[in-house]
A and B are shown apart, each in its own frame.
Chain A
């Protein structure tokens, strides 16, 4: 038998002992390393589990495996160029990241957004919310081994990604929203494609629900699992569907409307149980509400420009570049130097599929952000995993990671 180095560094052990209980050190409970390469930690989350048999005594999430330094990187980009970095944060909600960043820049420099751009932003953000919830539903069901739902969800998500590609040329990393509006107007096929999706999708939600909502095995696996009270949810800063499933009807689209959400009629689904099943029901209903919003926005989609006409911040249209030297110079200056932002700080938050997605943006008079900080919902929501998982089984832990709907790009930034 080969010689194995069983020596453990004392300093390492010190850091360790502070994390786990005395029982684990004595060997009464088992320590199990789950992740970062594990099929159901949704990316590169590492969990150090302390188990008593299969019961979870303690969960210690270890994050940072996907740290990209986006916040620091953005300080080296001009306001416009930094948009492409926002896509990479929460890779299931790219459009939403674009939106909150653009709203922050617009608020900082006081830039207007034309109504058509506002409406298209709402349509795409809601479609993105549906796509994100579809990935959540698919992976959540797959974690519970209901494998077919996963592929059905991705079938519909594909339609949304096709719409994204149609608009921006990219399926995921769209960078479609820019400060002052959109990169450019949507193509003519856009409306048909979205209407086609809206026609098909409600029946497809029924299809997923037929497989899961009344399935006794699914209910067994989700009901009374990971109960989160409203007090705990608020104490830990949980937002989004997880908060609403605990009975708090807090949705930034209603509480602090942005991009014209106040014009649309929609409900905020809530539930009082606060368990995994309640979170499932809330998200399913949210998809239906998103369909409603998209329908309304599409019906009254106004015509007009899709980008602000404020030339201080928005480059001149391509048509002018051919015959106006001033336009060429202006275009060149905007893309090399960028536009200066006033000294000051803003905080803008939107309702992402996962919760409150906020951007703190500080300008120092120059063309680049002085400081940018992302308040990401996944990071805050991940904290409650410890609270939720205690006393449950390893099998439930997998369901719980699914139910808090984290995206590691969003957690680690």
Chain B
């Protein structure tokens, strides 16, 4: 057995209101591929950010022992100096710079006032050949595919004399062929003695290459499986990931489901920028009156793209397919038309796409339906205030006054303001995209109650979430989406975490063949 390269001891990391990591222990042996798996929000990325110094020493509890020494990283540079390099899911390359320039960004050859371009290019070519990328180092990064960009990131890590390479979802945006190449590369590196930590949702890849697998669940390391000792099949990993008891974290509701109110047929959407890529393909689904319908899927499955493209074509290109509300076919060309046809979309990104943080609660609540609080084009501020107060009471938004700016509210209360805004448009069909992301358990429960109230009024809710337990707890029906397609439709009785996961895996198997 070789030596232990890295030990994490009792890592605890807390954010306001959330304990992201609760006493995590993890050992990484030199020269192995160590996989880290867990559901979204289990704490994988947080743990890696602690390890690489993005969260500096002092902002967490516990010890990092690397190469036999206790380490206290205060910035990323500190960990990189010791050969720990992390490659994030979103690549950090500058599109208009060449491969060589990107590879040595922050690690330039030559001296500060005299860059050595000859050495830069020579070294770049050398590392490119190691990772097996047949491109000139003078090619701008924007001109090569995502898969090749991923290889450039790895070459960049090699240029920093990496000893421990951390890859966060490296294959999420790669096709099958590119993924396999990348995995082969990791195996080759292992033969040369390099250590890697691989974070991935694609369990088949992990079963294929990992030597050991650490499973995180709710911020704790549940178990570590070793190749050759334990069963490391996908089924075994899933069991570790989802094996949690369901308690009554969801308010009860008597389903009172009526006729189909909303139906989407043959919906195909192309990527906003890369027109040849399909983000949704032949999607069919429907929602009934008084029904909560869930869409489950991994990150990047195309759920948000689906929702936004339906919502007045606010995402995507070359959109085809039909939308019918109460049996009547609609052509929604703009967000305004969608709102006027009583469809609402509550974004997953409440700060980026949802709220105007520099404005008051009152202004945010009425923004999508100013017609209701104005006559002609003249705003009735008194009426507006009354509306804001009404929603504050109804959704129990905790604030000093409705004249408080949205930026000063907690995440849960911001989410309630966003919900108020869309409830005020009086929609019949409400699309909720990750409505409980980043808010604490109590606020989640309140959001669930609001959803139950809405369907009790006869509205139809489409509930997109990455957290399977909440979908299972809240939905009457769940569609499973994977790589732009609906791959399963599960009734309340059929639905379970295992069923969802295995339908995703089945779909990926099919895609591979």
B partners with A: no
